[in-house]
Amino acid sequence: MISSLSDVPLFAGLSPADCAALEQHMQRCDFVPQSVIVREGSAGDAAFLILSGQVAVRRKDPDSGVEFLLSELGPGQMFGEMALLTKKPRAASVVAIEPTSCAKLARADFERVMRDHPEVALGMAAAFAERLERANQHAGVDFVSLGRVRIDPRVLQLVPGSLVTEHQAVPIAFCNNRLTLAMTNPNNIVAFDDVRRILKGVMIEPVIVTEDDFRRFMSTTYAQLTVKAEPTVPRPPGRPAATVAAGAKASATAIIDLLQSDLVRELQLAADTQEPAAETKQDLMSASEDAPIIRLANSILGLAIKQGASDIHIEPMEGDVTIRFRIDGVLQVVQRLPKKVQLGLISRVKILSRLDIAEKRLPQDGRISVMMESKPIDFRVSTVPGKWGEKVVMRILDKSNTHLGLDKLISHAPTLALVRAMVAQPYGIVYVTGPTGSGKTTTLYSALAEINDPGVNISTAEDPIEYDLPGVTQIQVKADIGLTFAAVLRAFLRQDPDVLLVGETRDKETAHTAVEAALTGHLVFTTLHTNSAAVAFTRLTEMGIEPFLVSSSTIGVIAQRLARRLCQSCKEPYAAEPASCAFFGLPAGTTLYRGRGCASCGGSGLKGRIGIYEVMKMNAELRQMVGRGTRAEEIHAAALANGMVDLKGYAAMLLTEGLTTVEEVASVVSIES
Ligand SMILES: [Zn+2]
């Protein structure tokens, strides 16, 4: 909020008297969200200074007619002055995103200030220079000169010539599953979509070329390099585009396979393998030691780490071997490999994880440790026999994870305060619930990090140990030798602990030992596999814990989900559908947000993840209800009446704040009546 012109850097050089005089000439205008303050193409008759609120500056792409977000501006920033200076029509539209107040400065007054106060004119020139620089950095798009790049002809063939010409976008490099696309208009999302349809799972990095350069390149180098083996058939008139796309996709996939196997990675294997030497394993051994197989395995691991994947799936299918990565919680196909690499690749992974390569009928568990850019990274590997061969899933455990911290996870201040109050209790149990992949472990570790202090004895029983916590005794559970959660927990209790973390409560013995620990003065953190906070009590009762024990030992329950975060660079407001508003309890026509797709989010409109929480802290009423064995629905309703924000309510807050989308939330928050 700007209260006086002297708060604005641009006018800081003016004397208080000049500021006051200028303020006299400014007219205050208020805008509701979605209202257009300045329209592209209209005459520029005034400049605006934002006093409060937030606006989006958008420009229409003349080719596609699609509007692109150029920037967002807030209090203290000006817009509209460019048209006053250039005397040309407005180059962009400006739309209020929030309720916004501006001070409007008419052309005559603007010109008078510029004339009478050279320091303001200079300041404005500096502001323009900075804006330009920021715009360049923000876009992060480089210029290239096509004459100076050496291009692999195979890369050119990744995108069919018809699309290259249509969009003036030519592929010039492919490395680490990233395609560099030289474009005359890097904001052309239609081009991104078309290329992505052919090259599934490939990241596209746009660079800018001038139209002259593009035309010259197409008529000379492109023609020469592609003339020999143009694999794509030119589209005959009347032939549907989809058929061309399907053919292009198949040949692009084959080329990518070739390029991938050419890659050599800087991945070092931390622990080399002790290779078993039994006769029967000879064939598998030699298949797995083939140099291309070693490179392929390394490249899959390296690529997954670079892309920030959490899991790698190697899935033998009838006709190929599909490699999928889980990125931001969503599984996506990265590669389809020929069936002939299956045996070698899977054997290689099994050797690296010290599994028995001859055993293919039973599930196995192992681990791989690698160093990547001098950072230790572990892969927890599991195999199961499938119809078309062994399926391998590798969970990536990046132990240097720096995302820990409750304040980094929980964006809503009252919820954060509630969780911190629970963590600060001297004894009792805090349950974190949610389905697999909902971020329970990260929440637990972040809670532990808050109380980790040399004066506190913290012990954890985990499966697997996902992060290294300095100063904490961490034990890996090994059920096959009898080292169960319950067994580790009982051993800990003899070691005078203050705080205990039990990775998962899934049986009566563990649940019972945890309750006992809590009631004898320990603070216990654990997870349960339930959908809502209130159902945790039902689950514990089903496990055979007496309701009165649950009631007296529980501090609170945190239910959570992870949704993908809306890309903050390309989000745009829209008026929500009546059905969404009704479901989330929002007023009709509430402004929600969706991602348009941009270079920053790879066109998906989503980037990173965000937590959705439902925190139920026990109070006298809830304790009584739990002790009586009240149904979960009634406990949930009572907690809501006490002011609890449930998953749906929390999701609604994220939606109105433009942090995620209705589709994302609908896919992770169960829609119950
Ligand atoms: Zn984006």
Residue 253 has pLDDT above 70, yes or no: no
Strand partners, 429: 524, 554
| In contact, 366 and 296? CB cutoff 8 Å | no
Cα distance between residue 50 and residue 72, in whole Å: 11
Residue 260 Cα to ligand 1 middle (Å): 27
Confidence of residue 646 (pLDDT cuts 50, 70, 90): very high
* Tokens 């067994």, located at residue: 487
Residue 595 Cα to ligand 1 middle (Å): 6
Q: For residue 334, what are the contacts with CB-CB under 8 A and spacing of at least 6?
A: 177, 201, 303, 323, 324, 325
Residue 568 Cα to ligand 1 middle (Å): 6
Residue 594 Cα to ligand 1 middle (Å): 10
Residue 94 Cα to ligand 1 middle (Å): 19
Least confident of 30-44, 294-308, 500-514, 556-570: 294-308
pLDDT of residue 73: 85
Strands 330-338 and 320-327: antiparallel
Residue 187 Cα to ligand 1 middle (Å): 11
The helix (run of H) or strand (run of E) holding residue 311 is strand 311-316
Residue 333 Cα to ligand 1 middle (Å): 21
| In contact, 208 and 144? CB cutoff 8 Å | yes
Q: Where are the beta strands (DSSP E) in 225-271?
A: 268-269
Residue 521 Cα to ligand 1 middle (Å): 49
pLDDT of residue 240: 43
pLDDT of residue 427: 93
Cα distance between residue 46 and residue 107, in whole Å: 5
Residue 192 Cα to ligand 1 middle (Å): 12
Residue 385 Cα to ligand 1 middle (Å): 40
| 6 to 9, 15, 127, 466: CA distances (angstroms) | 7, 8, 16, 52
Residue 600 Cα to ligand 1 middle (Å): 5
Token digits for 591?
A: 């402004």
Give the mean pLDDT of 433-443.
Answer: 88
Cα distance between residue 376 and residue 541, in whole Å: 41
pLDDT of residue 275: 35
Strand partners, 79: 48
DSSP 587: P
Q: For residue 126, what are the contacts with CB-CB under 8 A and spacing of at least 6?
A: none
Residue 153 Cα to ligand 1 middle (Å): 31
| 234 to 36, 241, 242, 244, 307: CA distances (angstroms) | 45, 10, 13, 8, 34
Residue 566 Cα to ligand 1 middle (Å): 8
Residue 602 has pLDDT above 70, yes or no: yes
The 10s digit of each residue's pLDDT in 119-171 is: 778 777 777 776 666 555 444 566 778 877 788 888 888 888 888 998 899 99
Q: What is the share, in percent, of the chain residues with pLDDT greater than 90? A: 29
First to last CA, the chain: 42
**How many of the other CB atoms lie within 10 Å of CB of 217?**
21
Q: For residue 605, what are the contacts with CB-CB under 8 A and spacing of at least 6?
A: 566, 567, 570, 571, 594, 595, 596, 597, 598, 661
Residue 664 Cα to ligand 1 middle (Å): 15
Helices (H), 4-117: 16-25, 81-86, 107-116
Residue 277 Cα to ligand 1 middle (Å): 52
Residue 599 Cα to ligand 1 middle (Å): 6
Residue 259 Cα to ligand 1 middle (Å): 28
| In contact, 583 and 590? CB cutoff 8 Å | no
Give the mean pLDDT of 86-99.
Answer: 84
Give the mean pLDDT of 553-578.
Answer: 93
pLDDT of residue 500: 94
Cα distance between residue 514 and residue 522, in whole Å: 9
Residue 601 Cα to ligand 1 middle (Å): 4
Q: In what order do the strands lie in the sheet with 36-38?
A: 36-38, 93-96, 55-60, 67-73
**Of residues 269 and 448, more confidently modeled:** 448
pLDDT of residue 272: 32
Give the mean pLDDT of 585-613.
Answer: 88
pLDDT of residue 265: 32
Please say whether the dihedral angle defined by the alpha carbons of residues 325, 327, 331 and 335, taken in this order, is positive or negative.
negative
Give the mean pLDDT of 13-27.
Answer: 80
Confidence of residue 273 (pLDDT cuts 50, 70, 90): very low
Residue 606 Cα to ligand 1 middle (Å): 6
Residue 69 Cα to ligand 1 middle (Å): 10
Residue 82 Cα to ligand 1 middle (Å): 26
pTM above 0.75, yes or no: no
The 10s digit of each residue's pLDDT in 214-249 is: 988 988 888 888 765 444 444 444 444 444 455 666
Residue 207 Cα to ligand 1 middle (Å): 16
Question: Using omega within 30 degrees of 0 as the cis cutoff, is the peptide bond preceding 435 cis?
Answer: no
pLDDT of residue 229: 45
* Tokens 């995103």, located at residue: 97
Least confident of 59-63, 356-360, 389-393: 59-63
Burial class of 41 by CB neighbour count within 10 A (0 to 12, 13 to 18, 19+): exposed
| In contact, 596 and 61? CB cutoff 8 Å | no
Residue 607 Cα to ligand 1 middle (Å): 7
pLDDT of residue 391: 93
Confidence of residue 270 (pLDDT cuts 50, 70, 90): very low
pLDDT of residue 138: 40
Cα distance between residue 326 and residue 332, in whole Å: 6
Residue 501 Cα to ligand 1 middle (Å): 38
pLDDT of residue 397: 78
Q: What is the share, in percent, of the chain residues with pLDDT greater than 70? A: 83
Residue 100 has pLDDT above 80, yes or no: yes
Residue 669 Cα to ligand 1 middle (Å): 23
**Of residues 452 and 654, more confidently modeled:** 654
Residue 236 Cα to ligand 1 middle (Å): 35
Residue 203 Cα to ligand 1 middle (Å): 13
Residue 210 Cα to ligand 1 middle (Å): 24
